[in-house]
Amino acid sequence: MSLVGIIANPESGKDIRRIVSQAITIGNQQKVNLVRRILLGLTAGGAERIALMPDQYGIAAHALDTLHNRRDVLARTSLIEMPVRGNAEDTVQAARQLQATGAGCIVTLGGDGTVRLAARSCGKVPLLPISTGTNNVVPTFVEGTVAGLAAACVARNAPAGDKRFCYQHKYLEVHVNGHLSDIALVDVALVTTYFTGARAVWETELVRQVFATRAHPANIGLSALIGMLHPVGLSEPHGVMLCTGKNGREVLAPIAPGLITRVGIEHLEMLRPDIPYPISGERPAVLALDGEREIPLGAGDHAEVILRLDGPWLVDVSRTLLWAVENRFFVTEASHRRPATGTIA
């Protein structure tokens, strides 16, 4: 039976960048409405089972409450049985359980950080990321109804990683003192600060290094520093690393919504896959993963980054729906329709 999971992060879109920049706020009630539309799309698309991550705010539960008159939705939908901690571990645990129970697709609501957490434990289950965060390079603004239809199509028709529907995203492994510490899908930045603090990175004068899997001038975030100088596409088998400094070229880049700044760039270098690249030895420092400070580094800590090409599978919504149209996924032939009253079959 086809199974689709939904992971809605209640904390996405609420960080300090609402104060220091002009970032929009996507409240949890809006996420409830979005999840409701995804559920309706999944049901119409023929998903046989739907599992939702529970959360402290109750996004999933509220969405189901508002569909109390849709028995077809409620009959196939349930909450994942898991403890709710109210932190990043909820996303990791939900993705792990969905992978273990044979999900054919996982829809995430959040920013780059939410997708990164889901990617850590979803295995080869395709992710369909919908943007409800701040700096969003991987997730996009997809209407929930359409996302539900596409996710149902993937779960019903494609094995994990099917190239008809998905593309494989690059990622960066972060190793500290010889051990794998974490991963990032878009960028890893060395920030010269003592604490993780508010987690989000917006003070570019503290940024010393940026490693990126992809970079485009239309993106927002630290990868935009690279995108304004040397764009790197999704399908290109390499990444880029830059070092900041006062003696190099200055680049103007959007670090957060409405926050555009100039940063000096001293060095730019291509990253080849599967090769360790050392992180600058400035300490104390914190490594920011996809825009959020995560890994503190103290004196004596050695860190390096490795680019990998075999990352998570992400659903291409447009390609999926075009395939569905070509294969008459949404069409019921006349011979299978019930005859109208008073007509002869």
Question: Cβ(271)–Cβ(238) under 8 Å?
Answer: yes
Question: Cβ(253)–Cβ(261) under 8 Å?
Answer: yes
Percentage of the chain lying above the pLDDT 70 cut = 90
Average pLDDT over residues 10-36: 70
Domain positions in the chain are 3-169+312-336, 171-308
pLDDT band of residue 26 (cuts 50, 70, 90) is confident
Say whether the peptide bond before residue 284 is cis (omega within 30 degrees of 0): yes
**94-114 pLDDT tens trace:** 999 999 999 999 999 999 999
**Other C-beta atoms within 10 Å of 189: how many?**
30
Q: Do domains 3-169+312-336 and 171-308 have the same CATH topology?
A: no
- Model confidence at 135: pLDDT above 80: no
Whole-angstrom distance, CA of residue 112 vs CA of residue 91 = 13
Whole-angstrom distance, CA of residue 167 vs CA of residue 184 = 17
**42-67 pLDDT tens trace:** 999 999 999 999 999 999 999 999 99
- Model confidence at 14: pLDDT above 60: no
Residue 192 tokens, joined:
């010269």
Whole-angstrom distance, CA of residue 241 vs CA of residue 226 = 8
Q: 144-157 vs 317-326: helix axis angle to the nearest 10?
A: 60
CA distances from 61 to 51, 75, 184, 321 (A): 11, 14, 30, 28
What fold characterizes domain 3-169+312-336?
Rossmann fold (3.40.50)
**249-261 pLDDT tens trace:** 999 999 888 889 9
Residue 158 is predicted with a pLDDT of 64
Question: Cβ(222)–Cβ(244) under 8 Å?
Answer: no
- Model confidence at 17: pLDDT above 50: no
Question: Facing residues of 264 across strands?
Answer: 250
Question: Cβ(225)–Cβ(210) under 8 Å?
Answer: yes
Q: For the domain 171-308, what is the CATH code?
A: 2.60.200
Say whether the peptide bond before residue 296 is cis (omega within 30 degrees of 0): no
**230-280 pLDDT tens trace:** 999 999 999 999 999 988 799 999 988 888 999 999 999 999 999 999 999
**DSSP per residue, 80-102:** ------SSHHHHHHHHHHHHHTT
Residue 134 is predicted with a pLDDT of 61
Question: What rounded mean pLDDT belongs to the chain?
Answer: 90
**283-319 pLDDT tens trace:** 999 999 998 999 999 999 999 999 999 999 999 999 9
